[in-house]
């Protein structure tokens, strides 16, 4: 066995040293013959006899050489190389064809490579430098208490996480990774930075060794704000601290507290949040300082839910086993701590389903992207196949000659497929380049902040997959034309110089079916584009329940700047007064959260006078803390009762306004105004009912929701301004007013509310753009294919056309004749496409909004598009048929 391996490698090596080995062989054989001749001469033969005898004893020199060569190299590879050389020559001879085919294939293979790289870089292995991502899963809590939101992901509490960690055997580790932010004032520049609250094992678990200093120590998981330390990212170290080599040990103000910088993460490590690069990390003991939404020390509070994180399974543990173990422990916790854990579970998610970062939101879009690029590749293959068939006509004579001099049919097929492979290989190289250029395209498609990072990753897996799609594509587009091209009736092919008469019918049929496939596939893409576009428009038309015109929103980071509650309130009051004095400003109000922004709403278990929850129900409702005149500013109509005023302050009676959905669910038709609602152990008096609005996304079902006056709870940082001023003027006025009060505050960008809503439909938008782009390319390719086939049909039927004209057919008859042929092809494709579309548009699932996957309007529009394209593509060939000169057509 070892000898055979050795032999193979020797042979392989020989393929590349052919010239040298050939000379060697010549020299050796020559020396053999010379020695033989010499010996024979010595025996007294004449030189002539001596030579003849030597040669006779030797056997046929050329046969020996040939069998020597077979033994020396790898015949298959050598033939292949020979085919490649010949193929390259042939492709160079028709550069127009080659370029067109390569461009088409580059489009097909490149779009596949780009989507593969996105999936690799965003869904499968999203975290650069992190080891063992295959076994990593996201972990969050679930809450079944709220009816209608069954299994919805929520956060976990620290004591629960610690108990899971202690009791689970199937995991390498659990880490906490909760996104947060701060304002960094370095020099005279205040900027918002994004970071993470992480458990102390974070860096060790992920296998990240700090570039400078250290990671976190176990004791930094404990104590209330006891360990003000931070690890900063390499980028931040470089940009903000000018690559200061002595950075470790220095302090930086973060959220009003000096933090010691203990380490710098290595270059390239961006944390573990899909979509954003983290700039700093702090240990969980600092959680309170970095959580502006829910004040309080939460490391000992099982009811405080704030944790998102990751786990890594031990090798050989399946996701199912892991979930089982974790659910068992969660059940036990539920039994042990019913007051806080009733109805709560813990759920593991694959990285690409992670609910708390951008992976989960992008999954459906990327799923559709895969389907789309596979379609595009198929369409491109059909197109190139068609091109190859056309070219085969031109090469019929060549094929015939090669067959005549003894090439086997298999040999010809191999030659043609090799040529296809050359095209596909060049296209693959181009495609990978395209994928490389497109690696950051997704953020643009999503219309998200340009600071967001969703990079494609081209690693060996992506390259391998792309190479695989190259091979599959080659088989798809090259085999059939090769088979047909090599099937030639030798005698007639050699006799007639004119190409195209032999096997023409079959080729025309194959080409027609290729066009049929192209039309069908592009029809499906057009239908999908239509469906998604309709969804997007429907979504944009959805009433969010508040006004979107003349409303601008922004955020001010008080926590990050170290403001306490009192200082924040004073600032907010002053700023609102100042803003309302600006001419053109109708009103302005602070709230804890602006609808549709990333931050989470406050959420709390509630109790309602007279409402008895089911045994396993822990009613939990989201709420927002809002300032006076919030409803007027936002334009949320009140059904009854009153709005919050500045009198609803710390000393007044605690009040709340509930939305209609909540009133219906928990008061069951009774009027809630005047009754009580308990939140976090405090009784609030309901003073008003508001219309149900949209809170997180346009597509959400009506949610129970309530509002409390900001004065009576947490601080707010979301500023809403209703104004008739344009965006730019208002931005300037706002910056002026804020900085007049405090120049050290970092102000977020002022964004029109409509834009904020549009951001939330980014995934839909991306899907629509992608489908529209690829759909039009597909339709274009199909049109070219149809045009090609129709032109061919017309050229084949010149005589017939001439005859018909001679017999009195009018131009419009001929036009109809040819056009109806083209339309028949298109219609066939559309019927096929309809069948495919009807059974597959369900896959759009989540991205469809209030729309049947069989929406007749989308199908109808696609139908019209394809028919128009079909007519356009067959018109030119038909016109050419009409212009035929009957005399010359009949004579030819």
225: left (phi over 0), alpha (psi -120 to 50) or beta: left
- Which region, judged by CB under 8 A, interacts with other proteins, from 33-41, 193-201, 661-669, 825-833? 33-41
Region binding other proteins by CB under 8 A among candidate stretches 27-35, 263-271, 580-588, 605-613: 27-35
What minimum distance in Å lies between the beta carbon of 408 and other proteins?
Answer: 24
**Distance of closest approach, residue 45 Cβ to other proteins, in angstroms:** 16
CA dihedral 755, 760, 761, 766 (to 10 degrees): 100
- The answer to whether residues 171 and 135 touch, using CB atoms and an 8 Å cutoff, is no
Stretch of residues binding other proteins (CB under 8 A), selected from 23-31, 99-107, 139-147, 738-746: 23-31
Please, how many CA atoms are within 13 Å of residue 487, restricted to the half-sphere of its CB?
12
- Other Cβ atoms closer than 10 A to 318: 10
Between 23 and 616, CB nearer to other proteins: 23
Q: Are 473 and 105 in contact (CB under 8 A)?
A: yes
Residue 850 CB neighbour total at 10 angstroms: 11
Binding other proteins (rule: CB under 8 A), the pick from 46, 71, 243, 888 is 71
Per CB under 8 A, contacts with other proteins among 539-568 are: none
Among 40, 72, 515, 745, binds other proteins (CB under 8 A): 72
Q: Which C-beta is closer to other proteins: that of 11 or that of 880?
A: 11
Element (H, E) at 639: strand 638-641
Cβ closest to other proteins, residue 3 vs residue 497: 3
Stretch that binds other proteins, among 19-27, 155-163, 666-674, 793-801 (CB under 8 A): 19-27
Q: Name the one range near other proteins by CB under 8 A: 30-38, 159-167, 520-528, 725-733.
A: 30-38
Q: Which of 25, 88, 186, 370 binds other proteins (CB under 8 A)?
A: 25
The SS3 assignment for 635 reads: coil
With H, G, I as helix, E, B as strand and everything else as coil, classify residue 116: helix
Q: Do β-strands 344-350 and 136-143 pair in parallel, antiparallel, or remain unpaired?
A: antiparallel
Cβ proximity of 625 and 592 under 8 Å: yes
d(CA 733, CA 395): 74
Q: 24-33 as b/e, with b when 16 or more CB fall inside 10 Å? A: eeeeeeeeeb
Contact range with other proteins by CB under 8 A, out of 64-72, 165-173, 504-512, 668-676: 64-72
- Interaction of residue 29 with other proteins, rule CB under 8 A: yes
12 near other proteins, judged by CB under 8 A: no
Cα–Cα dist 416/395, whole Å: 11
| Identity of the residue, 15 or 129, whose beta carbon is nearer to other proteins in the bound complex | 15
Q: What is the DSSP letter of 456?
A: -
Q: Give, as ranges, the residues between 434 and 473 that touch other proteins (CB under 8 A).
A: none
Nearer to other proteins, 26 or 217 (CB): 26
Q: Which residues contact 397 (CB under 8 A, 6 or more apart)?
A: 493, 494, 497, 499
Q: Which helix (H) or strand (E) holds 466?
A: helix 460-486
By CB under 8 A, is residue 32 in contact with other proteins?
A: yes
17 contributes a contact to other proteins by CB under 8 A: no
Residue in 41, 51, 53, 68 binding other proteins, rule: CB under 8 A? 68
* Least distance between other proteins and beta carbon 29 (Å): 7
Please calculate the CA angle 372-375-379 and round it to the nearest 5 degrees.
Answer: 140
- Choose among 500, 510, 520, 519: nearest CA to 480: 510
Listed ranges 21-29, 104-112, 332-340, 548-556: which one lies at the site for other proteins (CB under 8 A) = 21-29
User: Of these, 17, 23, 27, 437, which contacts other proteins (CB under 8 A)?
Assistant: 27
Is 52 near other proteins (CB under 8 A)? no
Closest separation between CB of residue 83 and other proteins, Å? Answer: 25
Q: Is 61 in the site for other proteins (CB under 8 A)?
A: yes
Binding-site size for other proteins (CB under 8 A) equals 30
CA distance 213 to 260: 11
User: Minimum CB separation from other proteins for residue 47, in Å?
Assistant: 17
Span of 1-9, 266-274, 387-395, 434-442 interacting with other proteins by CB under 8 A: 1-9
Closest to other proteins by CB, 37 vs 658, is 37
Rounded-to-integer distance, Cα 705 and Cα 709, Å: 14
Q: Is 177 helix (H, G, I), strand (E, B) or coil?
A: strand
Q: In the complex, what is the shortest distance from the CB of residue 60 to other proteins, in angstroms, rounded to a whole number? A: 7
Q: Is 255 left (phi over 0), alpha (psi -120 to 50) or beta?
A: left
Exactly one of 23, 34, 134, 239 binds other proteins (CB under 8 A); which one?
A: 34
Q: With binding defined as CB under 8 A, does residue 60 bind other proteins? A: yes
Does the footprint of other proteins cover residue 36 (CB under 8 A)?
yes
Cβ(754)–Cβ(767) below 8 Å: no
Q: Where are the alpha helices (DSSP H) in 43-94?
A: 47-58, 61-72, 75-93
User: Contact residues for other proteins (CB under 8 A)?
Assistant: 3-4, 6-7, 10-11, 24-25, 27-29, 31-32, 34-36, 38-39, 57-61, 63-64, 67-68, 70-72
């Amino acid at each position: 066995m070892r000898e055979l391996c050795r032999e193979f490698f020797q042979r392989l090596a020989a393929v590349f040293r052919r010239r040298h080995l050939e000379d060697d062989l010549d020299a050796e054989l020559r020396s053999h013959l010379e020695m033989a001749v010499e010996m024979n001469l010595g025996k007294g033969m004449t030189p002539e006899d001596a030579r003849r005898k030597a040669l006779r004893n030797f056997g046929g020199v050329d046969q020996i050489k040939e069998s020597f060569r077979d033994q020396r190299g790898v015949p298959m590879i050598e033939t292949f190389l020979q085919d490649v050389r010949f193929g390259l020559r042939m492709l160079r001879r028709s550069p127009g064809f080659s370029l067109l085919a390569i461009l088409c294939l580059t489009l097909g293979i490149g779009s596949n490579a780009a989507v593969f790289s996105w999936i690799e870089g965003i869904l499968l292995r999203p975290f650069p430098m992190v080891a063992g991502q295959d076994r990593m899963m996201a972990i969050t809590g679930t809450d079944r208490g709220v009816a209608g939101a069954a299994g919805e992901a929520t956060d976990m509490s620290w004591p629960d996480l610690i108990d899971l960690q202690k009791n689970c055997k199937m995991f390498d580790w659990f880490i906490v990774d909760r996104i947060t932010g701060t304002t960094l004032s370095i020099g005279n520049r205040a900027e918002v930075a994004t970071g993470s609250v992480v458990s102390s094992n974070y860096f060790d678990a992920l296998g990240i060794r700090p570039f400078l200093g250290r990671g976190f120590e176990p004791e930094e998981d404990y104590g209330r704000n006891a360990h003000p330390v931070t690890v900063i990212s390499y980028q931040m170290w470089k940009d903000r601290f000018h690559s200061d080599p002595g950075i470790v040990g220095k302090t930086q103000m973060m959220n009003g507290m000096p933090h010691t910088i203990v380490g710098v993460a290595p270059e390239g490590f961006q944390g573990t949040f899909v979509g954003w690069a983290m700039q700093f990390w702090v240990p969980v003991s600092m959680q309170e300082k970095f959580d502006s939404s829910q004040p309080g020390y939460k490391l000992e509070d099982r009811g405080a839910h704030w944790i998102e994180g990751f786990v890594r399974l031990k090798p050989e543990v399946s996701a199912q086993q892991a979930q089982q173990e974790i659910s068992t422990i969660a059940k036990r916790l539920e039994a042990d701590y019913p007051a806080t854990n009733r109805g709560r579970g813990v759920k593991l998610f694959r990285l690409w389903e992670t609910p708390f970062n951008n992976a989960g939101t992008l999954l459906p879009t990327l799923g559709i992207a895969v389907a789309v690029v596979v379609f595009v590749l198929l369409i491109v293959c059909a197109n190139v196949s068609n091109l190859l068939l056309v070219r085969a006509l031109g090469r019929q004579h060549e094929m015939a000659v090669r067959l005549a001099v003894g090439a086997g049919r298999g040999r010809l097929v191999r030659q043609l497929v090799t040529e296809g492979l050359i095209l596909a290989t060049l296209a693959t190289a181009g495609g990978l380049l395209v994928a490389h250029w497109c690696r950051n395209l997704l953020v643009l498609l999503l219309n998200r902040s340009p600071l967001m990072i969703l990079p494609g990753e081209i690693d060996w897996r992506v390259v391998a997959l792309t190479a695989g799609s190259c091979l599959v594509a080659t088989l798809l587009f090259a085999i059939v034309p090769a088979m047909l091209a090599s099937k030639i009736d030798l005698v007639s092919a050699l006799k007639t110089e004119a190409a195209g008469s032999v096997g023409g019918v079959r080729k025309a049929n194959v080409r027609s079916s290729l066009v049929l496939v192209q039309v069908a596939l592009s029809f499906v893409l057009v239908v999908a584009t239509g469906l998604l576009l309709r969804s997007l428009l429907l979504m944009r038309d959805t009433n969010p329940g508040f006004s979107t015109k003349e409303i601008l929103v922004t955020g001010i980071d008080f926590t990050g700047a170290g403001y306490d509650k009192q200082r924040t309130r004073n600032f907010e009051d002053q700023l609102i007064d100042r803003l309302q004095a600006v001419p053109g400003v109708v009103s302005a109000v602070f709230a804890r959260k602006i609808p549709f922004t990333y931050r989470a709403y406050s959420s709390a278990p509630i109790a309602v006078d007279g409402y008895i929850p089911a045994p396993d129900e822990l009613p939990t409702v989201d709420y927002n803390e809002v300032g006076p005149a919030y409803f007027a500013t936002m334009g949320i109509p009140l059904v009854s009762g009153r709005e919050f005023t500045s009198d609803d302050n710390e000393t007044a009676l605690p009040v709340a306004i509930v939305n209609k959905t909540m009133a219906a669910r928990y008061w069951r038709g009774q009027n809630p105004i005047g009754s009580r609602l308990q939140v976090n152990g405090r009784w609030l008096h309901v003073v008003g009912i508001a219309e149900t609005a949209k809170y997180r996304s346009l597509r959400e079902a009506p949610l129970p929701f309530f509002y409390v006056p900001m004065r009576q709870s947490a601080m707010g940082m979301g500023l809403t301004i209703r104004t008739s001023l344009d965006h730019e003027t208002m931005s300037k006025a706002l910056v002026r007013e804020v900085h007049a009060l405090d120049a050290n505050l970092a102000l977020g960008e002022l964004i029109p509310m409509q834009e904020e809503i549009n951001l939330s439909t980014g995934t839909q938008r991306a899907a629509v753009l992608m489908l529209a782009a690829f759909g039009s390319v597909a339709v274009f390719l199909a049109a070219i294919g149809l045009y090609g086939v129709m032109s061919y049909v017309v050229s084949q039927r010149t005589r017939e056309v001439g005859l018909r004209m001679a017999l009195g057919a009018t131009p419009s008859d001929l036009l109809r004749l040819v056009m109806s042929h083209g339309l028949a092809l298109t219609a066939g494709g559309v019927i096929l496409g309809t069948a495919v579309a009807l059974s597959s548009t369900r896959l759009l699932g989540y991205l469809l909004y209030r729309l049947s996957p069989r929406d007749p309007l989308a199908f109808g529009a696609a139908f019209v598009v394809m028919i128009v394209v079909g007519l356009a593509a067959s018109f030119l060939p038909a016109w050419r048929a009409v212009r035929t000169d009957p005399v010359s057509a009949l004579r030819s």
